[in-house]
Structure 1
Amino acid sequence: MRRSATLLLAGLLLAGTVAVPATAQAAPRPASADASREDSAGASRENSAGGPRPVVLVHGRNAGPGVWGSLTERLTTAGTPADRIFAWSYDSSRSTNEVLAGQLAAYVDDVLRRTGADRVDLVAHSLGSLPTRWYVKYGGGAPRVRNWVSLAGPNHGTGLAWACALWDQGCRDMTPGSYVVSRLNEGDETPGDVRYTTFRSAGDGQILPTSSTALSGARNVQVADMGHNDLLGDPGVAEQVLATLTAP
């Protein structure tokens, strides 16, 4: 009975709101097909190759690109063309430093090649915060990233990850004191010419403690109490993410 409860907990741990198979995409694809809407918010973003910086969205554990529907809609409504919004799909059970950061680097390079941009904005939820940080800090990503945004990221680990750490590398990477967490927080937690922003909620329930998300040198924002996955669809959070990406 105890093992069944543990398996159930681990199955729910840091899962996305939409279960989409997490297989790496061969080439970046826009997250939405509607590119016609514009307003003044999008115009304030730094232009690159004739358009706003591309936004790369990175989901959390056991999730997929479908979790980004609400934020994608808000971005397009604000004037970000759909062909500048990308959602990276990946196997969240793989190693952050040995596998995922390299895959993300190749994905971002392809986005830059296809769009003609020189930098991207990265927005990550939960576990997605770790491979994106590794890419920026150790994978040569700092010159290619303007904004790095973490929604409910286990940036200093989460104790809940121990529930699935025995059989899942992604969970092991999220445990407090893991090799990945320790290396990411050595020295400068926010290196390079990158604007770092984190969002956390006291009601998260899966990042324990919730203070784990905050980083030294970042703009750390505590939002209204809501669940771990609720940050993905909350209109207020979406507005704050948009304001972060459009800031001069």
Structure 2
Amino acid sequence: MLDNISGSLPIADISHLLPRNPVLLVHGLMDTSYKMRKIATHLRGLGWQVADIDLTANNGDTPLEVLAQQLAIKIERIFAPQQPIDLLGFSMGGLVSRYYVQRLGGIDRIQRFVTISTPHRGTIAANFSTRCGCIQMRPEHNFIRDLNRDVDRLKKLNFTSLWTPFDLIILPPSSSQLGIGTELQIPVLTHPLMVADRRVLAAIVSALSQPVKSPI
């Protein structure tokens, strides 16, 4: 039995009853798909089909909307047109994923969407970089404001945000909260460890095992 975190459902109770969508993992700033390996291994061990992506450039030199276009191309290339999928983004990868969902048509095929330590309301840490992709993650940037202008669109999906109050990259850490969907605070000590902590892995499995919402 996996841990029951902040009201999340124990996966053993329902995982054998629900169809599993393929899951696409999206890494964060200065990372590659290798960063997501523990999540991928854990999910594959439980029977999920898992894919990933290497965003380029991953250092903040590329605008986030361009990275989202890379994500859209990847999805169209590896999945059948009518195949529903689930999406998981870590840190910057969560914002890239949101742009795909909210601006590039992903809302019509993504059913479950999980973000981990994503600066949904921006991060003060982005003020220390002049790279265009990092600038877009500043709290008052138009990129952040635009995505949050119609954030209620995400209510159409099973949306889950996982975050830690000890995050020193997402500042303030509460910027990972959007006020919609399921928000789970997991006290992991550092930002990078969010993709490896067993409690986070359990929460991911729970989120990806929820019944999908009926079309509105």
Q: Shared fold by TM > 0.5?
A: yes
- Give the whole-Å Cα distance in 1 for the aligned partners of 2:36 and 2:82: 22
Partner of 2:33: 65
Identity %: 25
> Are 2:215 and 1:247 equivalent residues in the alignment?
no
SS in 2 for 1:208: coil
Aligned-residue RMSD, C-alpha: 1.8
- Give the whole-Å Cα distance in 2 for the aligned partners of 1:187 and 1:40: 34
SS in 2 for 1:104: helix
1:44-193 paired onto structure 2 within 5 Å: 44-46=17-19, 52-80=20-48, 84-91=49-56, 92=58, 93=60, 94-97=62-65, 99-113=66-80, 118-164=83-129, 166=130, 168-191=131-154, 193=156
Partner of 2:176: 213
- Give the whole-Å Cα distance in 2 for the aligned partners of 1:242 and 1:186: 29
* TM-score, normalised relative to structure 1: 0.75
Equivalent AA in structure 1 for residue 102 of structure 2: K
Where do 4+ consecutive residues of structure 1 move more than 4 Å? 39-42
* TM-score, normalised relative to structure 2: 0.85
User: Number of paired residues?
Assistant: 197
- Give the whole-Å Cα distance in 1 for the aligned partners of 2:177 and 2:152: 10
- Give the whole-Å Cα distance in 1 for the aligned partners of 2:164 and 2:151: 24
Partner of 2:9: none
Instruction: Tell me the CA shift for residue 161 of structure 1.
Output: 0.7
Greater gyration radius: 1
TM-superposition CA deviations, 1:7-37 (whole Å, max 9, x none): xxxxxxxxxxxxxxxxxxxxxxxxxxxxxxx
CA contact (8 A) 2:188 2:197 kept: no
SS in 2 for 1:56: strand
Instruction: Tell me the CA shift for residue 225 of structure 1.
Output: 3.6
Instruction: Tell me the CA shift for residue 198 of structure 1.
Output: 0.3
- Give the whole-Å Cα distance in 1 for the aligned partners of 2:209 and 2:35: 22
- Give the whole-Å Cα distance in 1 for the aligned partners of 2:172 and 2:104: 28
- Give the whole-Å Cα distance in 2 for the aligned partners of 1:158 and 1:119: 31
TM-superposition CA deviations, 1:43-62 (whole Å, max 9, x none): 3442xxxxx31100000000
TM-superposition CA deviations, 1:123-158 (whole Å, max 9, x none): 111000111101111111101101111100011100
TM-superposition CA deviations, 1:186-244 (whole Å, max 9, x none): 03344362111001111111100111011132211100242001111001110110111
Partner of 1:199: 162
SS in 2 for 1:202: coil
Give the 3 Å change call, closer, same or farther, for CA 95–221 of structure 1 in structure 2. Answer: same
- Give the whole-Å Cα distance in 1 for the aligned partners of 2:188 and 2:197: 11
> Are 2:179 and 1:238 equivalent residues in the alignment?
no
CA contact (8 A) 1:55 1:120 kept: yes
SS in 1 for 2:154: coil
CA contact (8 A) 1:190 1:215 kept: no
SS in 2 for 1:146: strand
Instruction: Tell me the CA shift for residue 65 of structure 1.
Output: 0.7
Instruction: Tell me the CA shift for residue 72 of structure 1.
Output: 1.4
Residue ranges of structure 2 left out of the alignment (5+ in a row): 1-11, 212-216
Partner of 2:7: none
Equivalent AA in structure 2 for residue 142 of structure 1: I
